[in-house]
Amino acid sequence: MQTPADLIVILGTGGTIAGTAPTASDGVGYAAAQLRVEDLLAAVPALAGRRLEAQQVAQLDSKDMDFATWQRLAGAVQAQLARPEVGGVVITHGTDTLEETAYFLHRVLAPAKPVVLTAAMRPATALAPDGPQNLFDAVQLAGTPGARGVLVALAGRVHDAVQVRKAHSYRVDAFESADGALVARVEEGAVRRLGAWPDGEALGLARIARAAAAWPRVEIVLNHAGADGRVVRALVAAGVDGIVAAGTGNGTLSQALEGALREAQAAGVRVLRSTRCDAGPVIPLPGQLPAAGALSAVKARVALILALLAEA
Ligand code: SIN
């Protein structure tokens, strides 16, 4: 008899959702990544009837997310998705670099089942923590028949990995699909679909197999008033492999910064132009440095790392 694919696996990586503060009224002075994923599930009695498994893949504040953890996480997600009884995977994560991890998994795995990242802006000890509701919604989404792709569920909204950005430093609904539509909403445990489930191109785990310490080094520089080329020259001297320039507006760069980036490119450093705007693409124009399309600077960096991993 075929096993129904109704098992949802929760992979814990830390973050504020697993954070604790000395007092319930403290929403900022807390320590992230203190509680285990089993503790987070225990705080959501509404999930008691579901078939769930938990695995702690990491326990960190996501400002400290690193390539080795990404490798481990991608491997764990792929292994769980390969089990026929698994209908979907939920990843609990910090909000700060969640969009980078989501985009990384989207590019590497392009899963045919839902992989839902969720998080919280308030620690688990807060007067009104947002983590339990977000975790409940994420499990509902991960168990939705027909759903697929890397999704981000927070504050009742479901974003795709390409669009999603952390847009607010404090609000509970901190995430936006900056330049497009939401994929869905989760309301009272029901998923209301608004757009297509995201498809990706699965680069595969072989692409990211190289030892994390040997991954390409890609840095981000910003155009701003008075931007000159010194930072770029220092990065080239330090042996950087790629530079993402977060330009102004349509990825524009001061003359001095552009000159330094062109020197870097001539020296073999890969350069990609994104924008420092909160939303919108960089539209390529003839003769300009390569544009990152609609990717934010941090996602353009992930894309460039993945491209360079294929080249070396
Ligand atoms: C983190 O990103 O791990 C801490 C901040 C948060 O989750 O909101």
Nearest residue (by CA) to ligand 1, atom 1, is: 94
Q: What is the pLDDT of residues 113-160, one digit of tens each?
A: 999 999 999 999 999 999 999 999 999 999 999 999 999 999 999 999
| Domain boundaries along the sequence of the chain | 7-193, 216-311
Q: Please give the CATH superfamily to which domain 7-193 belongs.
A: L-asparaginase, N-terminal domain (3.40.50.1170)
| Region of 110 on the Ramachandran plot (φ > 0 left; ψ -120 to 50 alpha; else beta) | left
Q: So what's the pLDDT on residue 201? A: 83
**Rounded-to-integer distance, Cα 163 and Cα 17, Å:** 22
User: With respect to CATH, is domain 216-311 assigned 3.40.50.40?
Assistant: yes
Q: So what's the pLDDT on residue 165? A: 97
Nearest residue (by CA) to ligand 1, atom 2, is: 94
Q: So what's the pLDDT on residue 178? A: 81
Please give the distance, rounded to the nearest whole angstrom, from the Cα atom of residue 94 to the centre of ligand 1: 4
* Fold match between domain 7-193 and domain 216-311: yes
The finding on whether 117 has its CB within 6 A of some atom of ligand 1 is: no
Please give the distance, rounded to the nearest whole angstrom, from the Cα atom of residue 95 to the centre of ligand 1: 4
- Residue owning tokens 């792709």: 149
Q: Which structure tokens are listed for 51?
A: 């078939």
The finding on whether 121 has its CB within 6 A of some atom of ligand 1 is: yes
Q: What is the pLDDT of residues 222-237, one digit of tens each?
A: 999 999 999 999 999 9
Q: What is the pLDDT of residues 49-104, one digit of tens each?
A: 999 999 999 999 999 999 999 999 999 999 999 999 999 999 999 999 999 999 99
- pLDDT of 294 > 80? The answer is yes
Please give the distance, rounded to the nearest whole angstrom, from the Cα atom of residue 77 to the centre of ligand 1: 21
Please give the distance, rounded to the nearest whole angstrom, from the Cα atom of residue 269 to the centre of ligand 1: 32
Mean pLDDT of 292-302: 97
Q: What is the pTM of this model?
A: 0.97
Q: What is the pLDDT of residues 222-277, one digit of tens each?
A: 999 999 999 999 999 999 999 999 999 999 999 999 999 999 999 999 999 999 99
Q: How many angstroms separate the first and last alpha carbons of the chain?
A: 47
Task: Return the ligand 1 atom nearest residue 14 CA.
Answer: 3
* Radius of gyration of the CA atoms of the chain, in A: 20
Burial-class residue 252 by CB neighbours within 10 Å (0-12, 13-18, 19+). middle
Active site residues: 16
- pLDDT of 1 > 60? The answer is no
- pLDDT of 312 > 80? The answer is no
